[in-house]
Amino acid sequence: MAAARRLPGVLALVTGGGSGIGRAVCARLAREGALVAVADRDAAGAAETLRALPAGAHRALEVDVGCAESVAGLMALLQAHFSQPASVCINCAGITLDEFLLKQTEEAFDAVLRVNLKGTFLVTQAVARALVASGASGGSIINVGSIVGKVGNLGQANYAASKAGVEALSKTAAKELARYGIRCNTVLPGFIRSPMTDKVPQKVLDKFAAMVPLGRLGEPEDVADVCAFLASEDSRYITGASVEVTGGLFT
Q: Which one of 6, 28, 41, 183 is in contact with ligand NAP (CB under 6 A)?
A: 41
Residues annotated as part of the active site:
159
Residue 31 Cα distances to 4, 6, 8, 28, 83, angstroms: 10, 9, 9, 5, 21
Dmax (CA) of the chain = 57
For residue 149, the minimal CB distance to ligand NAP (Å) is: 9
C-alpha 59/C-alpha 33 separation (Å) is 14
C-beta neighbour count of 40 within 10 angstroms = 28
Q: What is the distance between the terminal CA atoms of the chain, rounded to a whole angstrom?
A: 36
The sign of the torsion formed by the CA atoms of 3, 226, 138, 67 equals negative
Dihedral-angle region of residue 102 (phi above 0 means left; psi in -120 to 50 means alpha; beta otherwise): alpha
Q: Which one of 6, 16, 35, 244 is in contact with ligand NAP (CB under 6 A)?
A: 16
x-or-dash string of contact with ligand NAP, 92-111, rule CB under 6 A: xxxx----------------
Query: Does residue 189 touch ligand NAP according to CB under 6 A?
Result: yes
| Nearest CA-CA partner of 65 in 134, 16, 128 | 16
Query: Does residue 242 touch ligand NAP according to CB under 6 A?
Result: no
Strand pairing class (182-189; 242-245):
parallel
Query: Does residue 164 touch ligand NAP according to CB under 6 A?
Result: no
Q: Which one of 38, 63, 90, 169 is in contact with ligand NAP (CB under 6 A)?
A: 63
Query: Does residue 18 touch ligand NAP according to CB under 6 A?
Result: yes
Query: Does residue 185 touch ligand NAP according to CB under 6 A?
Result: no
For residue 223, the minimal CB distance to ligand NAP (Å) is: 7
Nearest CB to ligand NAP, comparing residues 65 and 88 = 65
Residue 225 Cα distances to 188, 228, 243, angstroms: 13, 5, 12
Instruction: Indicate the SS3 state at residue 122.
Output: helix
Query: Does residue 58 touch ligand NAP according to CB under 6 A?
Result: no
Query: Does residue 22 touch ligand NAP according to CB under 6 A?
Result: yes
For residue 162, the minimal CB distance to ligand NAP (Å) is: 8
Number of H helices, E strands in the chain: 10, 7
For residue 109, the minimal CB distance to ligand NAP (Å) is: 15
119-138 binders of ligand NAP (CB under 6 A): 119
**28 with 2: CB under 8 angstroms?**
no
For residue 21, the minimal CB distance to ligand NAP (Å) is: 4
For residue 6, the minimal CB distance to ligand NAP (Å) is: 22
Contacts with ligand NAP: how many residues (CB under 6 A)? Answer: 30
Judged by the rule CB under 6 A, the positions of this chain that interact with ligand NAP are 15-16, 18-22, 40-42, 45, 63-66, 92-95, 115, 119, 144, 146, 189, 191-192, 194-197
